[in-house]
Structure 1
Amino acid sequence: MRRKIGKLLLLAVFLLPLTIHAQVLEPVKWSFSKKELEQNKYELTFKAEIEKNWHLYDLTLPEGNISLPTVFTFKNSDGVELIDSIQRKSEVLEEMDELAGVMTRYYANEAVFSQVVEISEPEDTVKVSVEFMVCDDEQCLPPTEETHEYTFTEDKAQGAATPAKKDDSSLIGFFLLAFVGGLLAILTPCVFPMIPMTVSFFMHSGDNKAKSKFQATVFGLSIIGIYTIIGTIVAITLGPSFANWLSTHWLPNILFFVIFWFFAASFFGMFELTLPSWMVNKSDKQADKGGVGGAFFMALTLVLVSFSCTAPIVGTILVESAGGQVLKPITGMLGFALAFALPFGFFAFFPRLLSNMPKSGGWLNSVKVILGFIELALGLKFLSVADMTYHWGLLDRDIYIALWIVIFSLMGFYLLGKIRFAHDSEVKHISVPRLLLVIVTFTFVVYMIPGLWGAPLKALSGYLPPMKTHDFDVQRVVRDNVKLYAGSVQNTNGQNQQNNMFQMSGTNSEACEDPKYADFLELPHGLEGYFDYEQGMACAKAQNKPVFIDFTGHGCVNCREMEANVWSDPRVQKILRDEYVIIALYVDDKKKLPEEDWYTSEYDGKLKNTIGKKYADFQISRFNVNAQPYYVLLDHDEEMLTEPRAYNLDVEAFIDFLETGIKNFKSKQ
């Protein structure tokens, strides 16, 4: 469940040069306390005091987020039982990460969490480990771990006072999405025709307009209440405690994929989703009694009868919110219900306006079918999550894009009337709104086609698998062919010297072996280098070149900005490729080191057993800095050639930095 740590680091925007000389930053201080709730039951409290302008990420983050969530791990003695899940006790802030294009959640000033445990014996212990990441407006720090062991031999312990739980993160976007879903549900063939049928119920009051409007109000509020109760049940039964499992495990993602495609089949007319007739009949009988109860049961009857059309949309909203905060499914159902209830309540208040409504017909079934195509496309997202998490290789980026192209092409042909389903009527002519939708659909298809050959399709980056899963990338092919051509050169004797990954200029070429970890780590822009410090240094000595160390991370946004805006300059690439041996050290990679390479850090006394932990420790221990990106130039004696650099998008300054390193290296020869 914690393997989601492959997504990491949101790094900063403007790292001041003074950071180079700064001490190791520790902007978060953790304190641990406990208090006895009742006999043998304790509340363990974990409080993080966060320095001004820094923030700590939440326990769960929306899908697509590249930041590292805070993760608590418990190791208990046999007699200890964890009661429920860990609870938030502080306000969670939420805002849009403009670079990543997704929402992120974090804490400022302080973050308090708690876990209730029940013990069997006073000698029982609980060891808690919290892994977390913090950022400010200028930089992010690599993953840090704090541990604490609780004992219960004392009779009672003073617990830290904590504020009441809050969960008031911004949910406006999801509310609006669900609201749109409610509007779409109205346009389905089992809902839209019911508007005049249902509103006639309120015309039985004759001239008693006050009673009629009161009943209409009860009717509309009942619809909202029924759907909101559904959301509340989901919030209580699922809620945030399942968020990590829902977002990473293959079982729920495959289940959601099947649910989406099942609903799509229903919208296409393969079968109807129906409730037992006794349930609908009983509600209908209660509605006939009139009064407040009658208005409520009229609303319940509407919800039940329209189930076959609304269930796929409601199910989609609940699936999307199942891994979110407690308020998310409630908010989603409130938004859906509000939109769904609006026309019924409105026409119940003003029944004379019914004559102005458009007549129902075949266009309603077209709405269902279009929603079915959209369900097919969105369902692939869940299959993709499972595929990437478990490395199945079933749904690479190009296959995913191809499926979307086919799905939306079929939708376009359906809108043109070239494809018909069982319940569709013949399309004798194309209306203007339908033509506009056809244009939008095929424009979207044309936009996606270049993605089959490696186009980035930035507008869809939140839905598509990563570029590294793309089998055929034109840019990569061109780049590899250029390398192959450049490597096939005539030597002075006229013999053809084949290209090797690294062309050796020194005598000890055997030292420049194939890079470790190159099967899952890579450098940008086709640059070649090493991901292991010792291996890179050996190659640098063999080639008699200085070393360019890049302290980086998988989710380091500022690292990617440097690569996109500075490293992309042809002059920078030429210097890096020709004059340096590049060593990229990932401070956040979770790949386990061979057990014989594990060691205990002299800096913090903790075990370092992954690539990321090793090189985060190396950066701190050697250079007294723990923020990325961080660039260091070294000679063969591992001495710095010039002052290191951090995040700065000044290309000319970066070139000067590289050239200064070369000049100083040559002066030592």
Structure 2
Amino acid sequence: MKRFFCSALFLSLCILINAQILDPLKWSFNVKETGENEQELVFTAKLDKGWHLYGQHIPENGPSSTTFTFSEIKGAELVGKVTPTREPIHKYDPNFEMELTWFENEISFIQKIKVTDPVFTITGDVNYMLCNDKNCLPPTSESFTFTGKRAQTTKSKTATPAIAETSEETTKTTEKADIKDTTTSPIDTSDVTNTVILKQNTDNDLWTPVIEELNAYEGNESHNSSSLFWIFLTGFGGGLLALVTPCVWPMIPMTVSFFLKRNKDRRKSIRAAMTYGLSIIVIYVLLGLIITILFGASALNDMATNAVFNIIFFALLVLFAVSFFGAFELTLPASWTTKLDSKADSTSGILSIFFMAFTLTLVSFSCTGPIIGTLLVEAASSGSITAPAIGMTGFAVALAIPFSLFAIFPSWLQSMPKSGGWLNSVKVVLGFLELALALKFLSVADLAYGWRILDREVFVSLWIVIFMLLGVYLLGKLKLPHDSDLKHISTPRLFLAIISFSFAVYMLPGLWGAPLKAISAFTPPLRTQDFNLYDQEVHAKYEDYDAGMAYAKEKGKPVMIDFSGYGCVNCRKMEAAVWSDPSVKSIIDNDYVLITLMVDDKTPLKEPIKVTENGKQRTLKTIGDKWSYLQRHKFGANAQPFYVLLDNEGEPLAGSYSYNENVPKYVQFLKSGLKSYKEKE
């Protein structure tokens, strides 16, 4: 049993570490013979687990669709269009707030051709975009070349010329592949592909990689570990909240007294009570692990962002809220707890204590259920496989602490507040909070189906009303069933009422477009608001890297590079919650040259750029391709948002910064860059 406890706790504390550079897709290109003059070009994409490739038909303002461009066709004709070998998955994507299609695991695309000459050559590019549960990679492309003969099949050749540093180069390599029942034909190398040179500063190379220099700075943000830490704290807060509910609070003195009376030896009783607390932790951690194992982090995130699931969860939370208000009582079947009680009585030792802890879990379900459900949904949304277990660990630790502490110090039981009407008040307060949270889940469904019944101003209005009513209730002006007569207002109730009214007043400017940073994660997007007076935004001085660097050198200012995207939701959050802060806005506007580079900008380049990356040839055709390559090549990262501070020579001044809505940390990040820049002067 001890090994069982240790194993469960160890598994719950494991954290997955993700590398910055991601390459989750591998393309392969083959030719399949289907007739004397008919053949098929086969494009096969193999994706790592958890990643998906967007389909060929994506709505406007969504992510980049998968498109196949044929730049040169010799000796053959295309028949029809490129089609996938299976139907794509249709799901609602909360990042883009629309229904999208994508493929997972492995997918092949077929383009039929009619061979008109003895030898044919077809070249082009496939443009695509990848996402997983946590982030999206910028749109990129893969070049392909098919060559073959009539009634023969060959695999593509892959050209891999590198970027020339001072002059143009022309290189071309071929890659042979073994294909069943086919032969490889010689590749015609008479056609020459010119390599376009990236313009570089004659004094220094602004495109030179600085990955090692960037990593040398301490304090690079680790959003994954930070997210898991906050999930633990959220779970801990939920556990403290559940602790003062009518289902759990009365159990503390009853359970601790039982252990003290059961064992005359105080050491044994303390040990039993601490084992009881540890059993509570193990039960809830196992619950989080079982849910993750059964569904997986990806499935949990899909469920957490699924429109139908959110409607169901909204209805459940409203049901719990109505129950907390006193309309009816939600309880699990009594036979369940009776069976567990009998198990606890018929067994002995650690197993008996474990069954007692499980009984507490079931008895307290009506109060802890909505808290646990909300916690698991939010943890699943993080995309980490350990997040549900981490959240449940925090919840269980907070729930188990009092049982252990009161067992060690039994005299504290005398000073515990007795059960009474205040516990019912706690349930009612939880009911108001559950009702407010329910609107958040309804908002997801509203955005998915485009009902437009819960636009931002409607959402904010409802929250204002809910928290105003909560304040009125705390002052004793609103009485619900099962409430005791309130002769006077206690100091805690008064302060809670003040907090509730203040929060409602804080949200009032949101009706006119104020960003409401504290609740930006809950409210619908600002774009859904009809009346918006907010205009305190930070705008980039330049949207071109080389031009911005030249201007910074002329003015003698450091540079802040903002790798962003039109479809990057977290980028918008940072701009609304962090950049709008006066202290941040002042530093960016006055002390830095801000260069924003959109990695999904579809504006074509004047000339395509051939680059070699990880042994593969890539063609940069759009401005977004160019900035995405710059981020990977120079800084070793490919997720957005991504902020880096540079001097006029392209050297980093501090560690990089990613998604973290912590204004003081962001100010510290900016000031550390200014300090380094002054030291270099």
After TM superposition, the score normalised by the length of structure 1 is 0.53
- Match 1:292 to one of 350, 358, 362: 350
Alignment of 1:132-531 (within 5 A): 132=130, 143-146=139-142, 170-242=227-299, 245-246=302-303, 248-289=305-346, 290-323=348-381, 324-474=383-533
Q: What is the identity, as a one-letter code, of the residue corresponding to 1:416?
A: L
**Would the aligned equivalents of 1:141 and 1:628 in 2 still touch at CA under 8 Å?**
no
* Mean CA deviation greater in 195-204 or 416-425: 195-204
Distance of 1:30 and 1:318 partners within structure 2: 27
Q: SS at the partner of 1:32? A: strand
Shift of 1:130: 5.8
Residues 79-120 of structure 1 deviation map (CA, whole Å, 9 limit, x = unaligned): x999xxxxxxxxxxxxxxxxxxx9xxxxxxxxxxx95899xx
Shift of 1:218: 2.1
**Would the aligned equivalents of 1:213 and 1:349 in 2 still touch at CA under 8 Å?**
yes
Distance of 1:473 and 1:325 partners within structure 2: 36
**Would the aligned equivalents of 1:72 and 1:129 in 2 still touch at CA under 8 Å?**
yes
Change (3 A) 1:453 1:379: same
User: Are 2:610 and 1:553 equivalent residues in the alignment?
Assistant: no
After TM superposition, the score normalised by the length of structure 2 is 0.52
**Would the aligned equivalents of 1:75 and 1:128 in 2 still touch at CA under 8 Å?**
no
Distance of 1:282 and 1:406 partners within structure 2: 44
Task: Give the equivalent residue in structure 2 for 1:658.
Answer: none
Q: What is the identity, as a one-letter code, of the residue corresponding to 2:329?
A: E
Residues 535-585 of structure 1 deviation map (CA, whole Å, 9 limit, x = unaligned): xxxxxxxxxxxxxxxx983546699999999xx99xx9xxxxxxxxxxx99
**Would the aligned equivalents of 2:598 and 2:627 in 1 still touch at CA under 8 Å?**
no
Shift of 1:617: 4.5
Shift of 1:246: 3.2
- Match 1:32 to one of 21, 26, 38: 26
Residues 410-444 of structure 1 deviation map (CA, whole Å, 9 limit, x = unaligned): 10001011111111112111111111111111111
Shift of 1:354: 1.2
Shift of 1:380: 1.2
Shift of 1:524: 10
Change (3 A) 1:249 1:212: closer
Q: SS at the partner of 2:129? A: strand
Distance of 1:266 and 1:31 partners within structure 2: 49
Shift of 1:200: 2.3
Distance of 2:499 and 2:580 partners within structure 1: 34
Residues 211-253 of structure 1 deviation map (CA, whole Å, 9 limit, x = unaligned): 2223223211111111111111211223322256335432122
Change (3 A) 1:293 1:337: same
Change (3 A) 1:211 1:450: same
Alignment of 1:595-610 (within 5 A): 603=608
Task: Give ranges in structure 1 of 5+ residues lacking alignment.
Answer: 1-26, 35-42, 49-56, 61-67, 83-101, 103-113, 119-126, 135-139, 156-166, 477-522, 526-550, 573-583, 594-598, 606-615, 630-645, 649-669
**Would the aligned equivalents of 2:304 and 2:380 in 1 still touch at CA under 8 Å?**
no
Q: SS at the partner of 1:171? A: helix
Task: Give ranges in structure 2 of 5+ residues lacking alignment.
Answer: 1-20, 29-43, 54-61, 68-81, 90-94, 96-103, 109-124, 145-154, 157-176, 182-223, 540-563, 590-595, 611-619, 632-643, 647-681
Distance of 1:262 and 1:589 partners within structure 2: 46
Shift of 1:475: 6.4
Task: Give the equivalent residue in structure 1 for 2:129.
Answer: 131
**Would the aligned equivalents of 2:45 and 2:107 in 1 still touch at CA under 8 Å?**
yes
Q: What is the identity, as a one-letter code, of the residue corresponding to 1:341?
A: A
Percent identical among aligned pairs is 47
Distance of 1:237 and 1:564 partners within structure 2: 43
Distance of 1:152 and 1:213 partners within structure 2: 70
Distance of 2:430 and 2:629 partners within structure 1: 46
Residues 156-191 of structure 1 deviation map (CA, whole Å, 9 limit, x = unaligned): xxxxxxxxxxx9775110111111111111101121
Shift of 1:600: 13
Distance of 2:575 and 2:131 partners within structure 1: 16
**Would the aligned equivalents of 1:454 and 1:467 in 2 still touch at CA under 8 Å?**
yes
**Would the aligned equivalents of 1:318 and 1:329 in 2 still touch at CA under 8 Å?**
yes
Residues 481-502 of structure 1 deviation map (CA, whole Å, 9 limit, x = unaligned): xxxxxxxxxxxxxxxxxxxxxx
Distance of 2:645 and 2:405 partners within structure 1: 57
Task: Give the equivalent residue in structure 2 for 1:164.
Answer: none
Q: What is the identity, as a one-letter code, of the residue corresponding to 1:422?
A: P
**Would the aligned equivalents of 1:253 and 1:385 in 2 still touch at CA under 8 Å?**
yes
**Would the aligned equivalents of 1:217 and 1:345 in 2 still touch at CA under 8 Å?**
yes
Change (3 A) 1:248 1:174: closer
Q: SS at the partner of 1:288? A: helix
Distance of 1:264 and 1:327 partners within structure 2: 29
The RMSD of aligned alpha carbons is 5.2
Distance of 2:64 and 2:274 partners within structure 1: 45
Q: What is the identity, as a one-letter code, of the residue corresponding to 2:270?
A: K
Q: SS at the partner of 2:26? A: strand
**Would the aligned equivalents of 1:188 and 1:367 in 2 still touch at CA under 8 Å?**
yes
Distance of 2:575 and 2:243 partners within structure 1: 47
**Would the aligned equivalents of 2:139 and 2:624 in 1 still touch at CA under 8 Å?**
no
**Would the aligned equivalents of 1:59 and 1:69 in 2 still touch at CA under 8 Å?**
no
Distance of 1:232 and 1:389 partners within structure 2: 29
Change (3 A) 1:355 1:469: same
Change (3 A) 1:424 1:116: same
Shift of 1:328: 1.0
Task: Give the equivalent residue in structure 2 for 1:528.
Answer: none
Task: Give the equivalent residue in structure 2 for 1:111.
Answer: none
Change (3 A) 1:618 1:45: closer
Q: SS at the partner of 1:238? A: helix
Task: Give the equivalent residue in structure 2 for 1:106.
Answer: none
The count of residues paired between Structure 1 and Structure 2 equals 426
Distance of 1:562 and 1:443 partners within structure 2: 25
Q: SS at the partner of 1:417? A: coil
Change (3 A) 1:259 1:295: same
**Would the aligned equivalents of 2:85 and 2:107 in 1 still touch at CA under 8 Å?**
no
Distance of 2:290 and 2:493 partners within structure 1: 39
